[in-house]
Structure 1
Amino acid sequence: MGKTGLKILVVGSGGREHAICRKFLASPLVDEVYCAPGNPGMSFSGVKTVAINELEFSKLRKFVEEKQITWTFVGPEDALVAGIVDDFQTAGLKIFGPTARAAQLEGSKKFALEFMQRYQVPTATYQAFQEPTAALKALPAFKLPVVVKADGLAAGKGVTVATTQAAAVAAIKQLFNEGQQEVVLEEYLSGAEYSLFAVIGKNNYQLLPMAQDHKRVYDNDLGPNTGGMGAYSPLPQLSKQLYQKIVTEVVEPSVQGLRQEKFNYHGILYIGLIATESGPKVIEYNVRLGDPETQVVLPRVKSDFAELISDCLADKRLAPIKTSERACLAVVIAAQGYPQNPQSGQLLPELNEKSEVTVDFANVAVASATTLKAAGGRLAAVVAEADSLIQAQTKAYQYLSEKQFDNCFYRHDIGMKATHKSYK
């Protein structure tokens, strides 16, 4: 089949968006892929970056109209919560993602927890507070460890798992001091954490391959939460029975709720799960693809991803997603000091792609014609594909070991929970 000329705009600038653009470019249906604002590393993959911020809706609309973009795909949550989909739809432009009302499932932890309660989606017990005194007063009723969450968006960093009362008190005070309007205290759920992504259309939904993200900044799950330090897919430790339970007890009622609330949901629903002793429970919803899970999930999708999104926007019934049996593992390279105070400006080694190893760039800037430098927290993800997870893991770390990084770091144990039985 020849090119039929789909022109796609992806909104966002990170590694997730690089992986999405890469997947669209692989489709025979696609002619051009633009990314706004994108990052300089994307150009290595043939992505055309556009210097428009993801929240500059009127400029983005103008670009879409001028370039005759077929449809727009939204990567980051802030644009969705701010109403980019409503804005584009009002102008009669095709865009993939939920409206601002539906995006509250990610924009407000309290909104999401109340939604889960309404539709009997299993989750943690919780309480929400609008001022620190009430939160501090209620704290002793929660068993330790206790989870302290910002109600609003916090880029994956607004969560503290407090193992002492003092740590919980400090986290509550800090969130209110930072200007959070509402803070949620939540029961700590113990168990393996999994990421599930549903592509939801008008008539049905389809599930992408599942992944496991590594949120903590250091090896052995130590240090503060981050946006994610690595991921892998598939999950050999996830039994067929548990997967079916997740679909029946979590996915089905969640999708039912979207229909009941008349969200007219066209987009991704991410479900963050904990496999507790009493069954799967939801820790959070996101209304978009995750980062860095996207970098390991999309390479395993054998279906034409651009066609899937086109069908979703055209209200066609979505065909089942074909998945590769191969394994994929991503290791995130971060700037020294991430997540609290990342350094920037340090030069990166040449991260050229090789057989079955790709690099999805994030916070990078141009240093020279051939080199990139750090421009923030997470800089890039090295993504390896192989017949097994152990092989993918070996490939990714072999690649990293051959590079010299200054003032950067990465975890050395991504995927260990699946590849090494003794690893906890």
Structure 2
Amino acid sequence: MLVIGTGGREHALARALALDPSVGAVHVAPGNPGTATVARNHPVDPMDGASVADLAVELGADLVVVGPEAPLVAGVADAVTARGIACFGPSGAAARLEGSKAFAKDVMAAAGVPTARAFVCTTPEEAAAALDELGAPYVVKDDGLAAGKGVVVTEDRQAALDHAAGCEQVLIEEYLDGPEVSLFALCSWNETTGATVYPLQPAQDFKRIHDGDEGPNTGGMGAYTPLTWAPEGLVDEVLETVLQPTVDEMARRGTPFAGLLYAGLALTSRGTRVVEFNARFGDPETQPLLALLDSPLADLLVGAATGTLADVAPPAWKPGAAVAVVLASRGYPESSSSGEVIGGIAEAETVEGVHVIQAGTAPSGDDVVTAGGRVLAVVGLGEDVAAARATAYAGVGLVEFEGVQFRTDIAAGR
């Protein structure tokens, strides 16, 4: 197995694959110090499709797993499959579901998927008219990839206009009330059986940097699963009204979607609505989800990549709960510090039920140092969410680096 990427999602994927008895070897390109503990790292640019494909051929990889969105949108999966190697991750054409929010809205409209009313704007005048039409709170989204930080939700009309002015093209959407839920689905497609969609169990992440959902959006400061408060039948409803219609519409367009489809959902007073689609595992929800997955990960990923997912048993889950708490560097999300020595990772992992997933880290001699905004995630397991949360924060208390930021309310009250 060859996992492509540098972050926490890739460390979590590599760790789960390394624990799978059917997997003989795990490689990561380029990886981080965390992935090096469970796999062999290779210094390959994840955006260079030809180099990724060359490495896959050299290793004799049975499967390439592309973690981040940017390589998928750039067509790295296409470069790998062109060399005859199975790849988990959609084609560049299908990854437009994440790469362009305007494209995703068009697909949802054609498929009858419930989502927020929206306007695509390219000029200040169009943005101003859309803001006035929809009213506050204002929701302004960069149309392209923005690493989870391209969205502004504000009561301040001028702040909304300023964000729009900084983007070539934006979506201005109606505000969706209610809690948000992340629902991932493994997808495969072949010409005989069509699309197969296996939803995972729902999770919830926390986007704002500070407690109480205050401060700017980040790539995610923590997540947990399961959601005991989610409405009964939510997964079946979303499969029927969102996931299956979307992959069917993508196939109808001649760009079948295979890989991981992520539906960000708002459980509004008017029903379930799609906030956004992503074309890959979300970070940090992947960390607690994979910690509870009770099925061999390799079988599911290979099935999705090769169009044979229908022949694989649907995902099964361990009892209990998992909570992930992200530790970020000083200045994040506006900036990030680097080179701060990280202590306590090994100590945290001595706590029963804790493992640490590295993201923005780098080696420095015998030390591991910070090298990005979101540095690592401490994952805690427990018999329920409260117990998993207590375990995770027990681990957090043992990790230290200068300027560390983390929320103290991940999964609180659940």
| TM-score calculated relative to the size of structure 1 | 0.92
Quote how far apart the aligned CAs of 1:268 are.
0.5
Please give the residue correspondences for 1:304-315 in structure 2 after superposition, counting only pairs within 5 Å: 304-315=296-307
In the alignment, is the contact (CA less than 8 A) between 1:41 and 1:372 conserved in 2?
Answer: no
1:206-237 per-residue CA deviation (whole Å, 9 max, x = no partner) reads 11121001001110000011000000000011
Change (3 A) 1:57 1:242: closer
Partner residue of 1:365? 362
1:145-174 per-residue CA deviation (whole Å, 9 max, x = no partner) reads 01101000000000000212122122112x
1:245-266 per-residue CA deviation (whole Å, 9 max, x = no partner) reads 3232222322322332232322
1:54-90 per-residue CA deviation (whole Å, 9 max, x = no partner) reads 0122221211111111110110000000011121222
Residue 96 of structure 2 is aligned to residue 100 of structure 1: no
Partner residue of 2:273? 281
Match of 2:25 among 32, 56, 67: 32
Residue 313 of structure 2 is aligned to residue 327 of structure 1: no
Partner residue of 2:334? 340
In the alignment, is the contact (CA less than 8 A) between 1:335 and 1:378 conserved in 2?
Answer: yes
Quote how far apart the aligned CAs of 1:28 are.
1.1
300-309 vs 211-220, greater mean Cα deviation: 300-309
Partner residue of 2:393? 397
Quote how far apart the aligned CAs of 1:91 are.
2.2
Please give the residue correspondences for 1:174-323 in structure 2 after superposition, counting only pairs within 5 Å: 175-176=166-167, 181-202=168-189, 203=193, 204-316=196-308, 317=310, 318-323=312-317
SS of 2:153's partner is strand
Q: For 2:80 and 2:372, how far apart are their aligned partners in 1? A: 30
Q: For 2:303 and 2:71, how far apart are their aligned partners in 1? A: 23
1:29-50 per-residue CA deviation (whole Å, 9 max, x = no partner) reads 1111111110112222x21111
In the alignment, is the contact (CA less than 8 A) between 2:202 and 2:235 conserved in 1?
Answer: no
Q: For 1:101 and 1:314, how far apart are their aligned partners in 2? A: 18
Partner residue of 2:14? 21
Letter in 2 for 1:236: T
Number of residues of Structure 1 aligned to a counterpart in Structure 2: 404
1:191-213 per-residue CA deviation (whole Å, 9 max, x = no partner) reads 11000011001241211121001
Letter in 2 for 1:408: V
Q: For 1:124 and 1:376, how far apart are their aligned partners in 2? A: 33
Identical amino acids, percent of aligned pairs: 38
Q: For 1:338 and 1:69, how far apart are their aligned partners in 2? A: 36
Which ranges of 4 or more aligned residues in structure 1 deviate by more than 6 Å? none
Change (3 A) 1:315 1:404: closer
In the alignment, is the contact (CA less than 8 A) between 1:209 and 1:300 conserved in 2?
Answer: no
Letter in 2 for 1:157: K
Q: For 1:307 and 1:413, how far apart are their aligned partners in 2? A: 35
Q: For 2:131 and 2:269, how far apart are their aligned partners in 1? A: 24
1:255-298 per-residue CA deviation (whole Å, 9 max, x = no partner) reads 32233223232200000000001110000000000000000111
Change (3 A) 1:308 1:404: closer
Partner residue of 2:405? 409
402-411 vs 70-79, greater mean Cα deviation: 402-411
Letter in 1 for 2:403: N
Match of 2:63 among 52, 71, 92: 71
1:162-190 per-residue CA deviation (whole Å, 9 max, x = no partner) reads 212122122112x23xxxx3111111101
In the alignment, is the contact (CA less than 8 A) between 1:357 and 1:385 conserved in 2?
Answer: yes
Q: For 2:248 and 2:305, how far apart are their aligned partners in 1? A: 19
In the alignment, is the contact (CA less than 8 A) between 2:201 and 2:225 conserved in 1?
Answer: yes
1:310-341 per-residue CA deviation (whole Å, 9 max, x = no partner) reads 22333222321111122000000000110001
In the alignment, is the contact (CA less than 8 A) between 2:331 and 2:337 conserved in 1?
Answer: yes
Q: For 2:402 and 2:52, how far apart are their aligned partners in 1? A: 36
In the alignment, is the contact (CA less than 8 A) between 2:124 and 2:161 conserved in 1?
Answer: no
SS of 1:416's partner is coil
